[in-house]
Chain A
Amino acid sequence: MTETLVSVADVTKDYDTGKVTVKALRGLSLDVAEGDFMAIVGPSGSGKTTLLNLIGALDTATTGTVDVFGTRLSGLSRRERADLRLHSLGFVFQAYNLIPVLTARENVEFVLELQGAGEERRERALSVLTDLGLGDFADRRPNEMSGGQQQRVAVARAVASRPRLVLADEPTANLDSENSEALLAMMRGLRDLHGMTFVFCTHDPLVVSYARRVVRLHDGVVQSDERKEAGQ
């Protein structure tokens, strides 16, 4: 039986813009199981990014509970949430968001250094990059790489410490279909190899086609939750 990594229960999230209160999530409930390769889809404003922020301990719910790895996030301090993100979660952003003055290897290594890894972090960073086909690009800076290569470095940064859960926000939005497919294949390979769990926010049908589970949001609630059989 697979373990539930994330449990979102009856969550609401309101944003007070000063004049009006925007209800981004309206009593949403969702579980993420270990090994899920899940796409969260929905139109703009449906609450995808807000949900990712909550699961990623970047934000707190207005009401309801979010448990990650059995820990209730509302009970954690800012520092504890930062620790959770650093040691147990991986993030992949749409805009790659690599540090431009660091090389590919240093970008990966930097997160490992923040985690307190010792001298072995250099070899480990290179090893992860090599596994993702970026060994030859290790000493290049982001501006010396293509968008696809940068996003693969971003994935390497996210998975270098083997987090149990990787959250990806529109990871293919800036990639062409060839690079998107390669990236998704790579992430699915990581899931199959290391048992990592991936949660994507996406509009991209290609991501949906790769996903094993597709959760559709509409107006801040889950509209459908579809699980695919292997091979679908």
Chain B
Amino acid sequence: MKMSLTVRLAGRNLARNVRRTILSVIGVGVGCAIAIFIWSFSRGAEDMRIRGVAESGIGHMAVVPEIWVDTRDPDLRLAGWRDELETTRGMPGVVAAAPSASTTALLAFGTLVVGVEMLGVDPSVEPAVNRIARAIGEGRYLEPGDGSLTVVGRGVVDQLDVELGDQLYVTLVGASGGIEYVMLEICGIIDTGSKSLDASICHVTLDQLAVMTGRDGPTKIAIMVDDIQTIDQRAAELGARVGEGNTVITWASLVPAMGADKAADDVFNNTLVATIILVVMLGVTSARLTAVLERKREFAVLLALGMKPLQILRLIMLEAFVVGVAGSGVGLVIVTPLVYLLATKGLSFADAFGGDASIAGVLFDPVIYGDMGPWMVPVAFAVGVTATLAAAIYPTASALRTDPTSALTMREG
């Protein structure tokens, strides 16, 4: 089938001034490339943030007592937690569900004392949701049934001047309000790389914590899902199935500071991309307007011959569409190697963290890896084509204002 003359005309119009067309295409391409790179970085940073939060034992989401959402009281316990745990583990997309509870405690050895946030965990699943539990530097992590054993952070070890096998004297407040004492042996030392985190880590089994505090069960069940894009959906699904008095909240609510950071980052990144696209659009508008003004006579003739304004609009928009598609392609060619590098090598912020990759108690991997995937293709074409078509609106309006009578009054030379 032969191409329609309108399509051929659009193509040849673009070829009239090849340099201008190529510059327009490159402009759109660079705009697309910058937008995709920023989004790739932004998605990578979001992934890092969510991973950091989730793998700090918080999970992508968690089942908690409703009252806990407002009070954050560590003494609260999850009603019917065994049923909730079973329900949670049976949900599609759930990779791991780990119950935990915490309390503040004093660890003493000889005359040295240190205050810690003691975490009671299920050792069989905690490493799946908590990178701290995987950061064993010496000894081993807890195992189910480890009644009077504990793992502590390197900072605790340094402050108490202890080593593996030493017995710590633990003091905490029991359920009755009285002081409880217990001896725990160090079976593992955790090295996260974060001095502030390592100085307060102390893990025991959930059963041991229940014995010490007199409160049975966990405060929350931290949940990891297989796809972070489905967190909100999974949270809603699970929320509809948890028992009365319990609720499901996502990582952004569990660590509000991180949720607010994400929202702020999104606004900044999207504003940056919008500004870049606007600048590109102004450039394309200028180029397209020049192209249209140079052809005013032709538009007058075409209108005089009976071409409809809609057909002229289609012609100019078709030209813009071709520039947009080509620019998007160029953008993908430019950005793909860069995103590949970002996705494979990552961008390290270790120096910026100053050797302590934890913020608000959340342990981060100080390297941000860009998100590279099929999403880049539709996004590139959506950005490139939409921006170019939008940039062609004003030039098109200018062409449509051409007075057809000027076709007769125009004189050669």
Contacts and interface: CB of A to CB of B under 8 A. Distances in A.
A100 B302 CA distance: 13
A82 B408 contact: no
Interface string B390-413: 000000000000001101111110
Contacts of B8: 102, 106
Contacts of B111: none
A174 B412 contact: yes
B311 interface: yes
Interface stretch (A50-58, A177-185, A189-197): A50-58
B298 A99 contact: yes
A101 B410 contact: no
B309 to A, nearest CB: 8
A79 B5 contact: no
Interface residues on A, range: 35 or more
B413 to A, nearest CB: 8
B412 A94 contact: yes
A49 B408 CA distance: 7
Interface stretch (A107-115, A131-139, A206-214, A217-225): A107-115
Contacts of A58: 304, 404-405, 407-408
A91 B407 CA distance: 10
Interface of B is mostly: helix
Contacts of B363: none
A85 B408 CA distance: 14
Interface in B292-326: 297-298, 301-309, 311
A102 to B, nearest CB: 6
A96 B297 CA distance: 11
B15 interface: yes
B304 A91 contact: yes
B253 interface: no
A91 B410 CA distance: 14
B304 A85 contact: yes
Interface in A72-87: 78-79, 82-87
B19 interface: no
B6 interface: yes
A115 B5 CA distance: 12
A213 B12 CA distance: 42
Contacts of B297: 95, 97
Given A99-B9, A113-B5, A173 B308 contact: no
A36 interface: no
Given A97-B297, A102-B9, A52 B305 contact: no
Nearest to A95: B412
A93 interface: yes
Nearest to A54: B405
Interface of A: 49, 52-53, 56, 58-59, 78-79, 82-87, 89, 91, 93-97, 99-102, 106, 109-111, 113-115, 119, 157, 169, 173-174
Interface of B: 2, 4-6, 8-9, 12-13, 15-16, 297-298, 301-309, 311, 404-405, 407-412
Nearest 10 interchain pairs by C-beta: A86-B306, A101-B12, A85-B306, A95-B412, A97-B301, A58-B405, A53-B405, A169-B408, A110-B5, A58-B404
